[in-house]
Structure 1
Amino acid sequence: MKGLVVLVVLSMLCGFGTSKECTNTPTQLSSHTFRYALLSSENETWKEEMFAHYHLTPTDDSAWANLLPRKILREEDEYSWAMMYRNLKSPLKSSGNFLKEVSLHNVRLDPSSIHWQAQQTNLEYLLMLDVDSLVWSFRKTAGLSSPGTAYGGWEAPNSELRGHFVGHYLSASAQMWASTRNDTIEKKMSAVVSALSACQVKMGSGYLSAFPSELFDRFEAIKPVWAPYYTIHKILAGLLDQYTLADNAQALKMAKWMVDYFYNRVRNVIINYSVERHYLSLNEETGGMNDVLYKLFSITGDPKHLVLAHLFDKPCFLGLLAVQADDISGFHANTHIPIVIGAQMRYEITGDPLYKDIGTSFMDIVNSSHSYATGGTSVGEFWSDPKRLATTLHTENEESCTTYNMLKVSRHLFRWTKEMAYADYYERALTNGVLGIQRGTEPGVMIYMLPQHPGSSKGKSYHGWGTLYDSFWCCYGTGIESFSKLGDSIYFEEEGEAPGLYIIQYISSSLDWKSGQIVINQKVDPVVSSDPYLRVTLTFSPNEGSSQASTLNLRIPSLDTFRWCYRNNKLPEFGYTSSR
């Protein structure tokens, strides 16, 4: 392991200056839409033509000429960057006094709210999905009997991304159970974990996937393959959610065994080839592998998990953000947003200030140069020229996966800073980019893109509306998660002798605030365009014997709201009642 750490150090210290591409060539191969169409096609000539350019490596620095940094790293930043690795074996501490997440177990949405309705529609869909169909390809890969019928779309037995949705299902079902305590979803998610465990035990190496390990042989050989680590990230994240939200110890054991397997794979690539070869392979999409590995390290404290997380930080992309360069145009958006989320988790786990700057700079770049008025980002899954979004308005805007992940970015930043701009962004992106991807109250009918073209409708986008059992796009996976955790960013708490509560989203709901020893009910009147007021009523009920002093912090909506009210001679209205 010592040798592996040294290689990581040398690579990361030199990584920003490496002359290599930072995304696939041709770039269309990074698009999930394009990749599915290509791999599903019977046109072998087309495939051969596309894959002939797979992962080209530039032969000179001209390929990086447009990536020159706008700002050189300060000496103190370079020093911190190096010291991070010198102190790798030192005790790691939390990097700040962050706001604490309020558990989904303690938040309940109001049945009269549109958020509850969206959650309920999603619950119906999760309950409709069949366990045997979900794990069909996992059992087939493990050599076990596969009763039932495999699902279609991106979960079909011939799809190289099969299994990704099952990982999302593990996360979504754990989140839904925490949000509702529905007994049936608890049984279904436990059955999925047990079935996957049987597959992992049968294979005996720790490997767990719906496709054979041969896809990772191709990944490591820099040969065409559709993002196998992307799928592994979803499975690992789902298992950790089953552990943290549903207290399933078996799920944690499975995750650790999986990571042991992949630690050895990455180690072998570095030893047999070079760490540069490993980083070249990261030009294929790897999801949030760094993020989930940092989370796992926070649970286990195993230094192997920390080292492997570092190895999935993509230096050629994070390096641009470290020097605050707005050069993300041409990058596949949802390949790289999860890497930034992992960088944010790295800051929270290790306290490395460079990664705080990376997360902050990235949000500034996307929000100022690459976001639509809705809060969404990307066109055809990619970032385009900054501040030129008017030329991109058509049916393939605002991939809903990107909104799901940008909400995570802003959530981290708010917890660090308490800045209302991040909470305002969260509200805008959640309202426009999440609630609108369901088709009414039809379970399992969701959208991939949210068109911005004037006069266009969602159903006329390239993908149109999805189907219950034959779509399973990436945005179906993030969709079922989004509607299972609608209560996760309404309330945040600040620990201390007098605990504080921050209410940053005005969504009708209740919170059993354990630290403050009170139950809070928030009632929000439906918003209509003819009424300038946001009407919120808060009711407080102290727990029996409560004598806890606490503070309450309410988000004041953005300045734009106040400007509108001022022009109309109105003032924002807030009210609360207390049973104390």
Structure 2
Amino acid sequence: MALPRRHFLRNASLIAAAPAIGASIGNPASAATPAAWSVRPFALKDVSLGDGLFADKRRLMLDFGRGYDVDRMLQVFRANAGLSTLGAVAPGGWEGLDGEANGNLRGHFTGHFLTMLSQAYGSTGEAVFADRIRYMVGALVDVREALRRPPAVLSVPGRFGTAVENARGSYQYVDLPATALGGAAAITIAAWVKPAHGGNWARVFDFGNNTTRYLYLAARNGSGVPRFAITTTGPGGEQGINGTAPLPLGQWSHIAVTIAGGTGTLYVNGIAVGANTGMTLSPAALGTLTNNWLGRSNFSGDPVFAGAFDEVNVWSRALSAAEVAALQIAPATGDLASWAFDETTGGTFTDASGRGQHATLRRTWGGPSHPGFLAAYPETQFITLESMTSGNYTVVWAPYYTAHKILRGLLDAYLNTGDERALDLASGMCDWMYSRLSVLPQSTRQRMWGIFSSGEFGGIVEAICDLHAVTGKAEHLALARLFDLDRLIDSCVAGQDILDGMHANQHIPILTGLVRLHDETGEERYLTAAKNFWRMVVPTRMYGIGGTSTVEFWRAPGVIAGTLSDTNAETCCAYNMLKLSRMLFFHEQDPKYMDYYERALYNQVLGSKQDRPDAEKPLVTYFIGLVPGHVRDYTPKQGTTCCEGTGMESATKYQDSVYFESENGLYVNLFSPSTVTWRGVTVTQSTSFPFEQGTTLTVRGKAAFDLHLRVPSWARDGFEVTVNDRVLTRVPVPGTYFTISRTWRDGDTVRVRMPFRLRVERALDDPTTQTLFYGPINLVGRDARTTYLPVALYPTAALSGDLAGALTPVPDKPLHFTVGGIEFAPFFEGTEDPTHAYVERVEPRVVFAGLDSGVANPARADGTTLLDDVWADAPFRTHHALIVRVKAVVEAWQALGALTEQDAQRILNTARRAAY
């Protein structure tokens, strides 16, 4: 492993995390970048955010990260490993067992949370974040160790002495000997139980061979009450007894069943609650049974019992009602079997009956796990995926996606704190994945990765490549290539658009991984695929706010208005498109990537975060509906979806792309109050952008370098640069970088002026459906109506084409305006107001500078109007230039038969009389 390369990833940070901290971490001065990169990002610690819009949004997430109970994030991991959950409750939603698809994505949110804490520590240096990271990493070390050994008793206080607890999600049960019932013709089975969950059909005990011959006691049947049943012919032949009330959760209950002389009786807390006097079956009729369990059902679909057991006893006779009642006061020893669960270590429970019926703690999914495995659910999720031919997220829900989030979180933890345990966990995960995937046929992998959504793997390739740059292990790079989805790669390389109908966020992060694979392997096809893919999304599948997808999927290119709904612009998609854009910029400094980055960051990403504190939820949207009157939902699905996860990350790395460095240059990509420390100088950007239409950069120190200032593509009017109050005469070109080359001295000041203008962007498939921008900021109407708001803008248009004359500023509310009496506000404001991101452009009459020609504004079949044709040629240097354009347009429309000669003259005369 080459040291400079290892040092680079730790310190320059391919992932925009801060460099690792600690004596073992390399010197940043020795950092190197991938040879293909012509610019590189700064570590988060090297760029500090000043007060402003981004800092305000970040503060809310930092407070959430400081205060949230991390044991809740660890609950599902500890439960899966059979460890104590310390009384913590899982966050809920997708991060737990009760959410969508039986919690099959659990563990993903914990990984996001680790990344958020790591970025927060990298950005602020606050010890509280490092302490939380180290605590979580230590807990995950314990989890991996526990998964690598047979399950061990979790001893808890019992009804008498100690008891054994099986946490929900541990998949643990007690395996009893085949001779435990002794073939008795009469029997009593009694147990103290403390249920922790009310899952129907979870078994207290189940003695059987299969789903035909068995004897069981369920803590709750389909009606929620205890049920005992015995059968030799399956469910239809059950001879049963039902209780009358549910067993209370979190409390000890005594439950017993007796069979003798054709009568069965069910007792709860010493009281008979049900009886069956027509029973013809007993254990003697079942013969020797092979599956004899406490807490597990012979029906595979039934849940495993969650809770504690104490004093489980079996007698070869039916105890009397008085004897059963006496068990409430003191335990007694069954003559067939007796387990007191006094053990505090190991996984074997001693039988006190004298018959040697010792029991063993086991997991339903077998085990121990294979080396390196770490997850919040069993390996079975990964194993089952290998034989699936179609997706079913209630069976398998993207296990490699969840593995990515955990891997990324651990790697970020290592890069930011230097905790070698986190690196060991991350490396072990990749070793484990390689051991599974490398032995699969390529055809199996291709099938797996093409399955929605079970085969989704997120940005795992990017994370593995980043890990490889640290470890240098050949197996890790080989692992990254095992995720190649050839159909997608080959089509993108060929420029063939196959995205229609594909799941957007399943595929966007695949391309970020391909860029990193190119960096590590030099294979050009990976980078070519990513570049071509980007062009398939931007702009033809992009909404004005920068987001993409509808109901998580893509439609045909160019269909924008036709896809507007309540479920547009999944927030994860914007997060991943930002990643892809910045990574492509590292390879080619095409300003279009940073133009897109600004659009999506200042609009969708900022607007996806609600502007209020919350101790329990990150408050980030999943979808952002773009239909009229949509109200944003900041707590979808209990607030633990993928988008809340990436939202946590976004809000703690806002500064990651403000500046990049090249061999001899500093790129200023975004206008944000911030300070970057670089090559012995600091550059401070002072601005209240976007509330201010400009920025000021001050250099402290002395150095010679090129300063590259991005000239946004929207900055068409009056973009001006001064150095030490001297205006530079070169004319900045929108959509480029403006370079200043000089030897900078302490105190040098660069001021940038970039006047905003109001402009519209038309939906590609319907030019009358439009969204408004003021500079880089998307303006949304605030109105409860659920129909498109009609908006007219041309009557006050300036010669420059600026439509801002239609805006009336709202006093004391920056960037708030009224248009036609309707208030418009920045999309980035995280409110719950009903919004209109798109409006209906209505220009019924031909009007210039407020003068009405009295002529209706004609339109073509596609919706474009005569006035659209006129103003498409803006800016106009003079009033005369406008008149020349009007004359040409009216003549063209007259030739088409859309205007009479008289109406054409009226329009031209009105344009001449207009006061510009």
TM-score, length-normalised on structure 2? 0.49
The 3-state SS of whatever aligns with 1:415 is helix
Is 2:641 the counterpart of 1:465? no
The 3-state SS of whatever aligns with 2:644 is helix
- Cα distance in 2, alignment partners of residues 249 and 500 from structure 1: 34
Aligned twin of 1:207 = 373
Aligned twin of 1:519 = 682
Quick one: which amino acid aligns to residue 507 of structure 1?
Answer: S
Aligned-pair distance for 1:527? 3.0
- Cα distance in 2, alignment partners of residues 561 and 97 from structure 1: 28
Consecutive unaligned residues in structure 1, runs of 5 or more: 1-92, 459-463, 566-570
- Shift in alpha-carbon separation, 1:526–1:369, aligned structure 2, 3 A: closer
The 3-state SS of whatever aligns with 1:368 is coil
- Cα distance in 2, alignment partners of residues 114 and 573 from structure 1: 24
Aligned-pair distance for 1:98? 2.1
- Shift in alpha-carbon separation, 1:574–1:534, aligned structure 2, 3 A: farther
- Cα distance in 2, alignment partners of residues 475 and 97 from structure 1: 29
Is 2:739 the counterpart of 1:573? no
Aligned twin of 1:508 = 673
- Cα distance in 2, alignment partners of residues 108 and 574 from structure 1: 24
Conserved 8 A contact 2:501-2:554: yes
Aligned twin of 2:656 = 488
Task: Select which of 89, 95, 112 maps to 1:149.
Answer: 89
- Cα distance in 1, alignment partners of residues 59 and 134 from structure 2: 20
- Shift in alpha-carbon separation, 1:472–1:494, aligned structure 2, 3 A: same
Aligned twin of 2:703 = 548
Is 2:506 the counterpart of 1:335? yes
Q: Deviations over 1:504-540 (max 9, x none)?
A: 0101111111x2x111110123435xxxx73111111
Aligned-pair distance for 1:576? 5.3
Aligned-pair distance for 1:575? 4.4
- Cα distance in 2, alignment partners of residues 217 and 119 from structure 1: 40
Matches within 5 A, 1:111-122: 111=51, 113-122=52-61
Aligned twin of 1:216 = 382
Aligned twin of 2:49 = 109
Q: Deviations over 1:92-151 (max 9, x none)?
A: x9442420111101111112x110011111101112221111001101111211112222
- Cα distance in 1, alignment partners of residues 38 and 472 from structure 2: 20
Q: Deviations over 1:249-279 (max 9, x none)?
A: 21111111111111111133x2xxx220122
Conserved 8 A contact 1:537-1:575: no
- Shift in alpha-carbon separation, 1:186–1:576, aligned structure 2, 3 A: farther
Conserved 8 A contact 1:122-1:484: yes
- Shift in alpha-carbon separation, 1:575–1:163, aligned structure 2, 3 A: farther
Normalized per residue, the structure richer in helix is 1
The 3-state SS of whatever aligns with 1:245 is helix
Q: Deviations over 1:175-227 (max 9, x none)?
A: 11111112211211111111111111222221111111111121112174111
Aligned twin of 2:646 = 478
- Cα distance in 1, alignment partners of residues 429 and 379 from structure 2: 12
- Cα distance in 2, alignment partners of residues 324 and 447 from structure 1: 32
Matches within 5 A, 1:87-486: 94-111=34-51, 113-147=52-86, 148-157=88-97, 158-204=102-148, 205-222=371-388, 224=392, 225-268=396-439, 270=440, 274-282=441-449, 283=451, 284-443=455-614, 444-458=618-632, 464-466=633-635, 470-486=638-654
Quick one: which amino acid aligns to residue 165 of structure 1?
Answer: F
- Cα distance in 2, alignment partners of residues 573 and 408 from structure 1: 30
Conserved 8 A contact 1:536-1:574: no
Aligned-pair distance for 1:550? 1.9
- Cα distance in 1, alignment partners of residues 704 and 114 from structure 2: 38
- Cα distance in 1, alignment partners of residues 500 and 41 from structure 2: 33
Q: Deviations over 1:409-464 (max 9, x none)?
A: 10011111111111111000101111001111323222111111123221xxxxx2
Q: Deviations over 1:338-380 (max 9, x none)?
A: 1111001111222211112111101111003211121110001
Conserved 8 A contact 1:94-1:350: no
Look at both structures and tell me which one has the larger radius of gyration over its CA atoms: 2
Aligned-pair distance for 1:153? 0.4
- Cα distance in 1, alignment partners of residues 709 and 527 from structure 2: 25
Quick one: which amino acid aligns to residue 549 of structure 1?
Answer: A
- Cα distance in 2, alignment partners of residues 555 and 423 from structure 1: 8
Consecutive unaligned residues in structure 2, runs of 5 or more: 1-32, 149-370, 725-745, 749-916
Moved more, 329-338 or 150-159: 150-159
Aligned-pair distance for 1:482? 0.2
The 3-state SS of whatever aligns with 2:711 is coil
- Shift in alpha-carbon separation, 1:97–1:334, aligned structure 2, 3 A: closer
Moved more, 480-489 or 145-154: 145-154
The 3-state SS of whatever aligns with 1:447 is coil
Aligned-pair distance for 1:391? 0.6
The 3-state SS of whatever aligns with 1:554 is strand
Conserved 8 A contact 2:48-2:674: yes
- Shift in alpha-carbon separation, 1:208–1:413, aligned structure 2, 3 A: same
- Cα distance in 2, alignment partners of residues 576 and 456 from structure 1: 45
Provide the identity percentage: 35
Normalized per residue, the structure richer in strand is 2
- Cα distance in 2, alignment partners of residues 178 and 350 from structure 1: 29
Aligned twin of 2:893 = none
The 3-state SS of whatever aligns with 1:510 is strand
- Cα distance in 2, alignment partners of residues 555 and 465 from structure 1: 33
Aligned twin of 2:693 = 534
- Shift in alpha-carbon separation, 1:187–1:324, aligned structure 2, 3 A: same
Conserved 8 A contact 1:369-1:386: yes
Q: Deviations over 1:285-322 (max 9, x none)?
A: 11122221111112222111111110112111112101
Aligned-pair distance for 1:242? 1.1
CA RMSD in angstroms, aligned pairs only: 1.7
Aligned-pair distance for 1:573? 3.3
Conserved 8 A contact 1:95-1:350: no
Quick one: which amino acid aligns to residue 139 of structure 2?
Answer: A
TM-score, length-normalised on structure 1? 0.76
The 3-state SS of whatever aligns with 1:549 is strand
- Cα distance in 2, alignment partners of residues 526 and 286 from structure 1: 37
| Structure with bigger RCO (C-alpha 8 Å, 6+ apart) | 1
- Cα distance in 1, alignment partners of residues 460 and 619 from structure 2: 28
- Cα distance in 1, alignment partners of residues 35 and 524 from structure 2: 8
